[in-house]
Amino acid sequence: MKNKFIAGNWKMNNTAEDTEALLTALIPLVKDTKNRVAVCVPYTDICLARKLLKGTNIELGAQNVHWADYGAFTGEISAEMLAEKGVKCVIIGHSERRGYFGETNQTVNMRLKAALAKGFTPIVCIGESLEQRQNGETEDFLAQQIKEGFEGLTAEQAVRVVVAYEPIWAIGTGVTATKEQAQETIAFARSKFAEAFGKETAERIYFLYGGSMNEKNAKELLGMPDIDGGLIGGASLVAEKFAKIVEAF
Ligand code: PGA
């Protein structure tokens, strides 16, 4: 089994004061872990987080990136701007971006290619709604997100992508997918990558589970063979909880 990758998604939370308190508490708690750790912070916290994380084992991440190098894209941010500030990984296509801000598989694909070109670790989110799960449409929907979202990548590029399976019905709801549901769905997603990029590549790709993962359920989820880590929202805002997830497996 691979070492785990645990990434915090702070979403639109944490002022400078909160960031300082949270990271100051978190750094010593996770310093000895064998696992890879990242925090994906709001843009306004990037400079401060970079300063606080310097010399630590916590990677700095952002929550989106635009496909263009620069230009008239009000409200967006470029890969160059993030790279200049020490960002190493970036979330792309989170369901909140897809649901509230019109993100599509096509824009995900363009953002993904920009992130790869800049050498970031892209954390690309996929996941179905409750209605789709209940209608038995999960696999078809994920297959399409994968086909369109990862279109045009080489196997060398695909291996650098982290895929976060986040069922929309589990995000921020306190309802976690069971470990069997998460395992089965991620194994399906991995099989789609195997079809597209070869089995060996698909085995090496990191697949995270996200959706109400917390310090209590992390161990059993992370113990499943296809779950290589977690993308953590709510529980990443509390240093002790996030650290327990990092150390859970
Ligand atoms: P949650 O969020 O852990 O609060 O459910 C996960 C995510 O949206 O990345």
212 in ligand 1 pocket by Cβ < 6 Å? yes
- The three-state secondary structure class of 211 is coil
Low-confidence residues of the chain, pLDDT below 50? Answer: none
Q: Rounded to an integer, what distance in angstroms lies between the CA atom of residue 183 and that of residue 221? A: 8
Q: For residue 38, how many C-alpha atoms fall within 13 Å in the half-sphere facing its CB?
A: 27
Residue nearest to atom 3 of ligand 1 (CA): 233
Q: What is the pLDDT of residue 90?
A: 98
Nearest to 128 by CA among 195, 51, 185: 185
Q: What is the pLDDT of residue 1?
A: 79
Ligand 1 pocket mutation, candidates 63, 175, 231, 238, criterion most atoms within 8 A of CB:
231
Whether residue 166 lies in the annotated active site: yes
Q: 172 alpha carbon to ligand 1 midpoint, in Å?
A: 5
Helix boundaries (H) for the chain: 16-30, 46-53, 79-84, 95-101, 105-117, 130-134, 138-149, 155-158, 179-197, 199-204, 218-222, 239-246
CA angle 182, 148, 146 (to 5 degrees): 15
Q: What is the pLDDT of residue 38?
A: 99
Q: What is the pLDDT of residue 238?
A: 98
